[in-house]
Amino acid sequence: MSFQPLKSIRVLDLTSVVVGPAATWRLGQYGADVVKVENPAGDLMRGLGGQSPTGQHSGAYLHLNRGKRNICLDLKSDGARQVIARLIAQADVVVANMRPKALEKLGIDPARIQARHPDKIYCLLTGFGTDGPYGGFPAYDSVVQAAAGIPGLSLARDGVPRYVPLLICDHVVGEIAAGAILAAVIERQATGRGRMIEIPMFETMAAFVLQEHLAQHSFDPPVGPPGDRRLLSPHNMPVQTADGHVAVTINTDAQVRAFLQVTDRAELADDPRFATVAARADNVAEWFEVRGAPLTQRTTAEWLSLFRAADLAAMPCHTLETLPSDPHLAAVGLIEHEDHPTEGRTAVIRASLRVDGDSVPTRSPAAPRGWDTRDVLADAGFSASEIETLLSEGSAHEHHR
């Protein structure tokens, strides 16, 4: 039986780029009917996410917009505003990541929608909370990373501030938004009441950083400097082997003894600096230097065999080239392939969760801009002549198949 707990829920997706599409993609994986509204210029991620055969469906766009019906509207036109008003009236959930002033100008800001439709769940994704001094500032993932102190972590460790080379803020906040929307859906089933949910990226990611790194400053007065010294150690990185790198993590006393035994450093097990969890915490710099020392006398595969025999947590350090062909990922079928209507053969990254032992089925491919315009308009109750008028006047656009 397919897992579609949100099958009866309609989501109007007024988002673009990554954070909003990540949230609505997750809702679509749970069976929601997601209608993505795209402007005539198209979602920036269609091209910003990298090269593609047609230049209109980057890999990132394909993966973040599966399972969504696509309608193309010029939201500045009167005709499109009538369409949006009807789509909002028929939706259960509205998700937007435009800046608040832009939403107000278009007449689709949360306050106005809630006043008209108190039963709607409206999720607004912002760069910075609207009630703070940064409210309304433009934001992208890298800007939020910097504001939340993420490059500052590598500055503390390596002396150079670096972004995480992944849109980590967008993905984390998108998943949190999907979870908050699910909670609001459950509440509405009991009360009939909608909610206005705001998920600010800056505050969300600052909280993530501080949960790990407020550390000794969690106490008043502080008992030491801020920062988890283990995570900030310059030796906290994959360990070099004869032919690559391996990741191995040891935390308990038993794991430490096993690791030192396997790596031919058993004499260090009796070193009082490393004998207990507390001792290693007090001597974290020295311990991580031991733990991160190169292991170039054997290959990655040889070390993995030894570590696994000792029941230690260890994995190869994949590259972008080797990760897709990992044997475990192949066995569980994380990546499949399908034919896209305009891009030819494309990779499909399925949802990683399993329900009752089964994978969640992949949904339809990310659609070309305006692919479902006619169908969505018809479902919203527009007549054939009204649809032709909307298309001819430029309020709506369709993809010519």
- Looking at the structure, tell me whether residues 186 and 302 fall in a common domain: no
Which residues are CB-contacts of 263 (< 8 A; sequence separation ≥ 6)? 295
The Cα-based distances of 329 to 12, 29, 97, 335, 355 in angstroms read: 33, 19, 33, 7, 18
Q: How many CB atoms lie within 10 A of CB 209?
A: 15
337 contacts 365 by C-beta, under 8 angstroms: no
What one-character-per-residue DSSP string does 377-397 give?
HHHTT--HHHHHHHHHTTSEE
- Looking at the structure, tell me whether residues 287 and 365 fall in a common domain: no
- Looking at the structure, tell me whether residues 52 and 179 fall in a common domain: yes
Q: Residue 115's domain is classified under what CATH number? A: 3.40.50.10540
What is the per-residue pLDDT for 359?
A: 86
- Looking at the structure, tell me whether residues 35 and 155 fall in a common domain: yes
Cα–Cα distance, 194 to 93 (Å, whole number): 9
DSSP structural state of residue 118: T
Do the bridges between strand 313-316 and strand 335-340 make them parallel or antiparallel, or are there none, so unpaired?
unpaired
- Looking at the structure, tell me whether residues 135 and 262 fall in a common domain: no
Phi and psi dihedrals of 167, rounded to 5?
-75, 65
97 contacts 19 by C-beta, under 8 angstroms: yes
- Looking at the structure, tell me whether residues 143 and 37 fall in a common domain: yes
- Looking at the structure, tell me whether residues 158 and 19 fall in a common domain: yes
Asked, for residue 225, whether it belongs to a domain, the answer is: no
Q: For the chain, what is the domain count?
A: 2
What is the per-residue pLDDT for 361?
A: 84
- Looking at the structure, tell me whether residues 156 and 286 fall in a common domain: no
- Looking at the structure, tell me whether residues 150 and 36 fall in a common domain: yes
Asked, for residue 46, whether it belongs to a domain, the answer is: yes
- Looking at the structure, tell me whether residues 52 and 144 fall in a common domain: yes
Asked, for residue 321, whether it belongs to a domain, the answer is: no
Vertex 256, ends 208 and 244: CA angle to 5°?
75
Asked, for residue 298, whether it belongs to a domain, the answer is: yes
Token pair in block for residue 396: 């709506």
The DSSP element (H or E) to which 302 belongs, if any, is helix 300-309
Which phi-psi region, left, alpha or beta, contains residue 215 (left: φ > 0; alpha: ψ -120 to 50)?
A: left
Q: How many CB atoms lie within 10 A of CB 385?
A: 8
Which residues are CB-contacts of 197 (< 8 A; sequence separation ≥ 6)? 121, 122, 123, 124, 177, 180, 181, 184
Which residues in the chain land under pLDDT 50? none
Asked, for residue 220, whether it belongs to a domain, the answer is: no
Asked, for residue 218, whether it belongs to a domain, the answer is: no
Helix spans in 221-316 (H): 253-262, 277-282, 284-291, 300-309
312 contacts 259 by C-beta, under 8 angstroms: yes
What is the per-residue pLDDT for 1?
A: 54
Task: Give the residue carrying structure tokens 């499909």.
Answer: 348
What is the per-residue pLDDT for 225?
A: 95
What is the domain extent for residue 305? Answer: 239-316
What is the per-residue pLDDT for 401?
A: 74
Which phi-psi region, left, alpha or beta, contains residue 357 (left: φ > 0; alpha: ψ -120 to 50)?
A: left
Q: How many CB atoms lie within 10 A of CB 65?
A: 27
The structure's pTM equals 0.94
- Looking at the structure, tell me whether residues 387 and 265 fall in a common domain: no
Cα–Cα distance, 359 to 200 (Å, whole number): 31
| pLDDT tens, position by position, 227-252 | 999 999 999 999 999 999 999 999 99
Asked, for residue 387, whether it belongs to a domain, the answer is: yes
- Looking at the structure, tell me whether residues 203 and 256 fall in a common domain: no
Asked, for residue 234, whether it belongs to a domain, the answer is: no
Q: Residue 255's domain is classified under what CATH number? A: 3.30.1540.10
